[in-house]
Amino acid sequence: MNPDPEIRRLIDIMPASGRMLTKIISKPQQTTVIECPFPLPWFGDRSIYINFDLWRRLPRPQRDMLLLRTVCWLINIKWFKPDLYQSVVLAGLLGGVIEFAQADAVGVVVATGLSAIAGSQLWRSNRSSQSQLDADIDGIKIAQRRGYSDIESAQHLLAAIESVAQMEGRLSLNFTELIRSQNLRAIAGISSVGVPDGVKQE
């Protein structure tokens, strides 16, 4: 597959925020179909690497859903947004600077420790199963604006997860893929059993 026309097509189906934040890169040497490194706060571009030799073996609806949910996962990771954890991290760092200026060693330890704990919680929430499930749901919502129904989108994404595992030579799905698959079955009406809230936070 010539990657250039497919890359242009994929960019066209992305949401506007995805076009601004993400970049699709052909990477034929990778053994996975699609891959994106976890975006760290100091990296500007959020790259999506695709092995187009494997990618072309997927039906177009599965390719669309894989791309849309990947873009949604990337744009949902926001390191600098006004919420509790970011506020605590900022307050802890600011407090640490003030305590350091006043030569208060205990104050520095407390303030930076508080900031580290909040930063750890922020890191975990961005990497939780819930963030993966949210990306699937957001991808399905965008797909509805591209002509797919919610049930079709869930079915295509579910099939894509299973197809990718087979193409990559994996004998079974990993833990996150199993959770996502169960959630997609519930959305598609294939199963009446959803994912327990406790599992979503892992």
Q: Name the residue with higher pLDDT: 141 or 118.
A: 141
pLDDT band at 113 (very low <50, low <70, confident <90, very high): low
Question: What's residue 118's pLDDT?
Answer: 46
Residue 94 has pLDDT above 80, yes or no: no
**Angle at Cα 14 formed by Cα 8 and Cα 19, nearest 5°?**
80
Residue 9 has pLDDT above 80, yes or no: yes
Question: What's residue 77's pLDDT?
Answer: 82
Domain ranges of the chain: 3-78+127-200, 84-122
Four-residue CA torsion sign, 147, 158, 175, 57 = negative
pLDDT band at 3 (very low <50, low <70, confident <90, very high): very high
Question: What's residue 187's pLDDT?
Answer: 93
pLDDT digits (tens, 9 = 90+) for 13-70: 999 999 998 999 999 999 999 999 888 766 667 899 999 999 999 999 999 999 999 9
Mean pLDDT of the region 70-91: 67
> Distance (Å, rounded) from C-alpha 51 to C-alpha 43?
22
pLDDT digits (tens, 9 = 90+) for 120-174: 555 455 567 888 999 999 999 999 999 999 999 999 999 999 999 999 999 999 9
Question: What residue type is assigned to position 193 of the chain?
Answer: V
- Residue 77 has a CB neighbour count (10 Å cut-off) of 19
Question: What residue type is assigned to position 127 of the chain?
Answer: R
Question: What's residue 111's pLDDT?
Answer: 47
Question: What's residue 192's pLDDT?
Answer: 77
DSSP string, 119-160: HHHHHHHHTSHHHHHHHHHHHHHHHHTTT--HHHHHHHHHHH
Contact 23, 47 (CB under 8 A): yes
Residue 85 has pLDDT above 50, yes or no: no
pLDDT band at 181 (very low <50, low <70, confident <90, very high): very high
